[in-house]
Amino acid sequence: MDWGLKNRLNRIIRPGDGRTVMLAVDHGYFMGPTSGLDDFRKTINPLLPYADTVMLTRGALRNYIPPDCETPVVLRVSGGTSILSKELLREGSIVTMEDALRLNVAGVAFSILVGADFERDTLLEFTRWCDDCQKYGVPMVAVTAVGKEMVRDEKYMSLASRIAAELGAHIVKTYFVDGFERLVEKVPVPVVIAGGKKLPEPEALRMTAQALHAGAVGVDMGRNIFQAEDPVSMIKAVRAVVHEKHTPEEAFKLYNELRKKGH
């Protein structure tokens, strides 16, 4: 593997333990104002020292993140539709590789929608990005989006994740489902889980631990961190599960202790 690609991958997945806590704060690209991200600087910037990587749009990066930020960036490069659209997940490119490189990214993220009428559009545009990623040594994080009408089960997630890897993804972000270990077995690149809708904190920590146990290398988590009652304590608790092998119970205890003392 090319040195640049390897170097950037090491900025996303920690070489020490091969794990990662990616902080996903890209929701505005299709949701606009999002609870927890409205006052982005106030909520998100204090989380950055505890994130191995932050995943966001170029607009959020330029407007909210100071250039001396040391947290590596995974840039969202697909989008172009909104929650008001009938074809919400029919995403195309929203940035060029040239701009991504100018922003000094550690990686890029592109959502694909397998099984939709328009799957060919997202898959071919994704593949074009994978070509650029190889050319410039930039890791591609494929996000397996799921349409409302699709069943979120191991069979579907494995199908979408394996296709993403076959087409050129370096990392796959997908949803945690029962039988996740079978998905991980079938996907030849590191897998991280999305957090999904906000869950009670103990459940989000349990899901994280189960995903790691099943072979995921970490999380690319958003709402379950920044919509937690205490986001800084929550990201520290997630880190404890991912990097320090805490059980979910130990991590929730840590969360409560940190909350009490104002993290």
Tell me how far apart the alpha carbons of residues 140 and 180 are, in angstroms, rounded to a whole number.
21
107 binds ligand 5RP (CB under 6 A): no
Q: Are strands 20-24 and 218-221 parallel, antiparallel or unpaired?
A: parallel
For ligand 5RP, give the closer residue by CB, 4 or 193.
193
Pick from 9, 20, 26, 129 the residue near ligand 5RP by CB under 6 A: 26
Tell me how far apart the alpha carbons of residues 172 and 176 are, in angstroms, rounded to a whole number.
12
For ligand 5RP, give the closer residue by CB, 60 or 133.
60
195 binds ligand 5RP (CB under 6 A): yes
Hey, what are 148's tokens?
Answer: 């409302």
221 binds ligand 5RP (CB under 6 A): yes
Pick from 130, 194, 214, 254 the residue near ligand 5RP by CB under 6 A: 194
222 binds ligand 5RP (CB under 6 A): yes
Catalytic residue among 173, 186, 197, 245: 173
Give the binding-site size for ligand 5RP (rule: CB under 6 A): 14
Phi and psi at 51, nearest 5°, equal -100, 135
Piece in contact with ligand 5RP (CB under 6 A), picked from 36-44, 78-86, 184-192, 221-229: 221-229
CB of 178 to ligand 5RP, least distance (A): 18
Pick from 21, 24, 54, 187 the residue near ligand 5RP by CB under 6 A: 24
Which residue is it, tokens 């988590």? 221
CB of 224 to ligand 5RP, least distance (A): 6
Tell me how far apart the alpha carbons of residues 131 and 124 are, in angstroms, rounded to a whole number.
11
CB of 1 to ligand 5RP, least distance (A): 25
Hey, what are 239's tokens?
Answer: 């880190």
Pick from 196, 199, 210, 230 the residue near ligand 5RP by CB under 6 A: 196
CB of 261 to ligand 5RP, least distance (A): 26
Q: At what angle do helices 119-136 and 154-167 cross, to 10 degrees?
A: 40
Pick from 20, 43, 53, 111 the residue near ligand 5RP by CB under 6 A: 111
- As to burial, measured by CB atoms within 10 angstroms (0-12 exposed, 13-18 middle, 19+ buried), residue 108 is buried
- As to burial, measured by CB atoms within 10 angstroms (0-12 exposed, 13-18 middle, 19+ buried), residue 103 is middle
Hey, what are 252's tokens?
Answer: 């929730």
For ligand 5RP, give the closer residue by CB, 206 or 223.
223
173 tagged catalytic: yes
Tell me how far apart the alpha carbons of residues 34 and 156 are, in angstroms, rounded to a whole number.
28
DSSP 89: T
Contact by Cβ (8 Å): 254, 56: no
Q: Give me the 128-147 binding string for ligand 5RP, x by CB under 6 A, dash otherwise.
A: ---------------x-x--
Q: Which residues bind ligand 5RP (CB under 6 A)?
A: 24, 26-27, 55, 111, 143, 145, 194-196, 221-224
Active site residues: 173
